Structure 1
């Protein structure tokens, strides 16, 4: 009788906590092909595996205070925002040359006549999910396939979501395993772990620029102008602004303002990763990425990797991104890096 009463009390306690919406919660929405990550009843982000995008991704990405830091396009375009690079969606991880197949640039903008050059990361299943207080975890699997469906890599990814002092921490640990053939990650520019930022967080620019991908496709990015864009990059190596691109360091952060509030997004490399410390693929137009695999490109040929995974061989990558509605300092970033380095993955 006492055990039954205790079980009933626990049930009502858990129900009340769920209804109050306090802390982190994971809400599975299979009909929309996404899992919402909610904090105190407010959406922080969602793990999305929709058919229309060529990889799983986190979208949108919000501060705990409710300000969206990611671009809406191509999922939910907003008036006045740029529409370049439709493959830039929320937060994602993939690469431009995997056995010669381009996973990075694949999107609905690629014509059918060229699709055989591009690959897709297919979500397979959710392995586990949990949430309690200020921390939640989500584990998923996926497969990297070419246009004809040939599988190159199996992927297992674990996400850790935390809210600490109104800072939203996302830690992604991904293990890639080669299947029945060797897999070559050729040194190229476009990769690897990335976020595409809202227009307000771009760096101001006065002129349009053109960028060429591994397939020779040229994308023109219009000048962002001044006034609305407020972003500026800062890196652990002391570099700032456009000079962060192609430099090497253990962390980098983008600082700006949106909706009148200071915003900081910081990316951290982990010492256990291949290619540590990473090279930064941080563009002023809002692509904030790290790429440890494109070493020959970023070093002008003085460094190289051309990573090869033999059949059955695995490689694990762990990265952290912090989103906060505050103006983080270099010392703040250094302290968070030190804490991250002490964690074992």
Structure 2
């Protein structure tokens, strides 16, 4: 519960003024409503629209992001995600396509959290394009447990079910989103607790996972050749060469690895730097030391997929590492990540590393 100190201050003034007026023989009365300043809104405001199945997150009156959970999606996501100056760092397609965008991988939307092999089911690649759902799983929004606005942060707590195509629950997810924003910086903490309520759940090493962000076209690497990417089931997706005008993205990892070479490496964090509408932008994803599979492998592609995958070690290490993570019945695991959106500030002075040290505490 947020306690507004200015109310107490205002009441004290009213009482004090009343006493002075009475002592001076004055007859005019002051009411609380006349003396009290207007109720100030919280800087970080969460607003639910149950009909649209969304919760909007406003910072200083401007949309930062929305938690959306319509039935048409195979998982809830944060979409869009905007900088402090209102530029979207997320791709618009397939919900609100923009000119010049890629139209590959329809399951890449906003910021999401799922995995490519959960008891043999593919949660990662599922989308409305998949007609036969037999080998796919989906994540259903269950409830909003709490929602709190504030001046320093806004907090949204939700529950979800990871289910097979028969509606049987494999995993329950209880997630807290913590939204912060000040000056030209915005951040999201995503803290997910996965529990296996009905039996053992195996999350076998798989390339497709786990915390994913699909970026706006401007934050992609300039594309110098067409490529074909194949998912774990063998389905191939063409990613063609496109016009590179205004395409400025560049990855950098905590280990000093840059560009395309970030893919398949481990690190505490990775940043993606570029420019949108003359705004210098850096987006960083930070791992957490207690996470399973720490330090995470990075499933980061130049065409706009920016993902941390702590569980796909065999696939991402070319067989050097192997995890095959699993949860026994009733067992839980916690995954904590921070996403920071920097605007108009350089991160090459070690800013992300400083922020990571603070986060990792």
Query: Structure 1 length normalisation: TM-score?
Result: 0.93
C-alpha distance in 2, partners of 1:324/1:243? 23
Instruction: Tell me whether 67-76 or 224-233 shows the greater mean CA deviation.
Output: 224-233
Equivalence for 2:23 = none
C-alpha distance in 1, partners of 2:230/2:266? 22
Shift of residue 164, structure 1, vs aligned partner: 3.1
Greater Rg over alpha carbons, structure: 2
Equivalence for 1:39 = 59
Equivalence for 2:244 = 226
The alignment status of 1:247 with 2:270, answered yes or no, reads: no
Rate the CA distance shift 1:202–1:224 in 2: closer, same or farther, 3 A. Answer: farther
RMSD: 2.0
The alignment status of 1:316 with 2:334, answered yes or no, reads: yes
Matches within 5 A, 1:68-79: 68-79=88-99
Q: Indicate if the aligned counterparts of 2:11 and 2:36 stay in contact, CA closer than 8 A.
A: no
The alignment status of 1:332 with 2:351, answered yes or no, reads: yes
Equivalence for 1:16 = 39
Rate the CA distance shift 1:186–1:64 in 2: closer, same or farther, 3 A. Answer: same
C-alpha distance in 1, partners of 2:36/2:215? 40
Shift of residue 121, structure 1, vs aligned partner: 0.4
Rate the CA distance shift 1:24–1:305 in 2: closer, same or farther, 3 A. Answer: same
Q: Of 46, 50, 56, which residue of structure 2 is paired with 1:26?
A: 46
Equivalence for 2:75 = 55
Q: Indicate if the aligned counterparts of 2:84 and 2:183 stay in contact, CA closer than 8 A.
A: no
C-alpha distance in 2, partners of 1:128/1:313? 24
Shift of residue 228, structure 1, vs aligned partner: 2.4
Shift of residue 9, structure 1, vs aligned partner: 5.3
Unaligned runs of 5+ in 2: 1-7, 13-30
C-alpha distance in 2, partners of 1:132/1:308? 37
Deviations 1:57-92 (A, max 9, x none): 000000111111100011111122111000001000
Matches within 5 A, 1:1-345: 6=11, 16-18=39-41, 23-111=43-131, 114-326=132-344, 327-329=346-348, 331-342=350-361
Q: Indicate if the aligned counterparts of 1:206 and 1:225 stay in contact, CA closer than 8 A.
A: no
Unaligned runs of 5+ in 1: none
C-alpha distance in 1, partners of 2:128/2:274? 31
Shift of residue 98, structure 1, vs aligned partner: 0.2
SS at match of 2:353: helix
Deviations 1:283-326 (A, max 9, x none): 00000000000001111111111011011000000000001212
Query: Structure 2 length normalisation: TM-score?
Result: 0.89
Deviations 1:24-54 (A, max 9, x none): 1001111110000001110000001111110
Rate the CA distance shift 1:13–1:108 in 2: closer, same or farther, 3 A. Answer: farther
SS at match of 1:234: strand
C-alpha distance in 2, partners of 1:291/1:234? 16
C-alpha distance in 1, partners of 2:156/2:119? 29
Q: Indicate if the aligned counterparts of 1:32 and 1:50 stay in contact, CA closer than 8 A.
A: yes
Shift of residue 15, structure 1, vs aligned partner: 6.0
C-alpha distance in 2, partners of 1:311/1:339? 34
